[in-house]
Structure 1
Amino acid sequence: MDFISWMNQFRMDFCTEPANLKRTLEEFRTKFLTKWIEGDLNRNGAELTEQYNEAVRQGKESIENLKKNEKQRRQQSQMSQKVLESHIAKARMLKEELTRLKTEADTRLQKKENMTEELQKVLEEKDHDSQKILAQEKTTKERLLELEKSAEWFRNNLGLQFRKISGNKLQMIFTSVDDKDPKAPCSFHVQIDDSRKYIISNCEPPVEELDCLVEKLNATNNLSGFVQAIRKAFKTKMTR
Structure 2
Amino acid sequence: MACIKDAHIGSWVSNKMEELRNKKLAQVSGEVMESGLDWVQPNQQFFESCRDKCSKKCKEDEMLFETLQFYHKDMEHTNSSVAEKKKAIAQTLSELEGKSGQKSKVIEKIEMLRLEQDKKKELIISQNQANKTRLKNLNRAKQVFQDHLGLEIRKINGDTLQFIFRNINPKDPVCAYTFRLRINECGSYQILSSDPPLERMSYLEKRLQETNSFSAFLANIRREFVNLLPEK
Same fold (TM over 0.5): yes
> How far apart, CA to CA, are the structure 1 residues paired with 2:182 and 2:199?
20
Residue 21 of structure 2 aligns with which residue?
A: none
Residue 182 of structure 1 aligns with which residue?
A: 173
Match of 1:150 among 132, 138, 141: 141
> How far apart, CA to CA, are the structure 1 residues paired with 2:87 and 2:206?
73
> How far apart, CA to CA, are the structure 2 residues paired with 1:63 and 1:106?
62
> How far apart, CA to CA, are the structure 1 residues paired with 2:97 and 2:196?
71
The offset of 1:184, in angstroms, is: 1.5
Q: Is residue 223 from structure 1 mapped to residue 214 from structure 2 by the alignment? A: yes
> How far apart, CA to CA, are the structure 2 residues paired with 1:226 and 1:99?
73
Residue 181 of structure 1: SS of its match in structure 2? coil
Match of 2:44 among 53, 61, 73: 53
Contact 1:178/1:239 (CA < 8 Å) preserved in 2?
no
Residue 62 of structure 1: SS of its match in structure 2? helix
Higher relative contact order, structure no. (Cα contacts within 8 Å, ≥ 6 residues apart): 2
1:161-176 to structure 2, matched below 5 A, reads: 161-166=152-157, 168-176=159-167
Q: Is residue 212 from structure 1 mapped to residue 203 from structure 2 by the alignment? A: yes
Residue 172 of structure 2: SS of its match in structure 1? coil
Amino acid aligned to 2:180: H
> How far apart, CA to CA, are the structure 2 residues paired with 1:236 and 1:73?
123
State the percentage of identical aligned residues.
24
> How far apart, CA to CA, are the structure 2 residues paired with 1:50 and 1:200?
138
The offset of 1:237, in angstroms, is: 1.8
> How far apart, CA to CA, are the structure 2 residues paired with 1:128 and 1:214?
28
Runs of 4+ displaced beyond 6 Å: 41-44
> How far apart, CA to CA, are the structure 1 residues paired with 2:72 and 2:36?
52
Residue 110 of structure 2 aligns with which residue?
A: 119
> How far apart, CA to CA, are the structure 2 residues paired with 1:113 and 1:71?
62
> How far apart, CA to CA, are the structure 2 residues paired with 1:85 and 1:209?
94
Residue 97 of structure 1 aligns with which residue?
A: 88
The normalised TM-score by structure 1 is 0.76
Unaligned runs of 5+ residues in structure 2 are: 1-26
Contact 1:191/1:200 (CA < 8 Å) preserved in 2?
yes
Residue 131 of structure 1 aligns with which residue?
A: 122
Aligned length: 203
Residue 7 of structure 1 aligns with which residue?
A: none
> How far apart, CA to CA, are the structure 1 residues paired with 2:209 and 2:115?
32
> Please, which moves more after superposition, 166-175 or 193-202?
193-202
Residue 78 of structure 2 aligns with which residue?
A: 87
Residue 199 of structure 1 aligns with which residue?
A: 190
In structure 2, relative to structure 1, the CA distance for the partners of 1:48 and 1:168 (3 Å cut) is: same
CA RMSD of aligned residues (A): 2.3
Residue 66 of structure 1 aligns with which residue?
A: 57
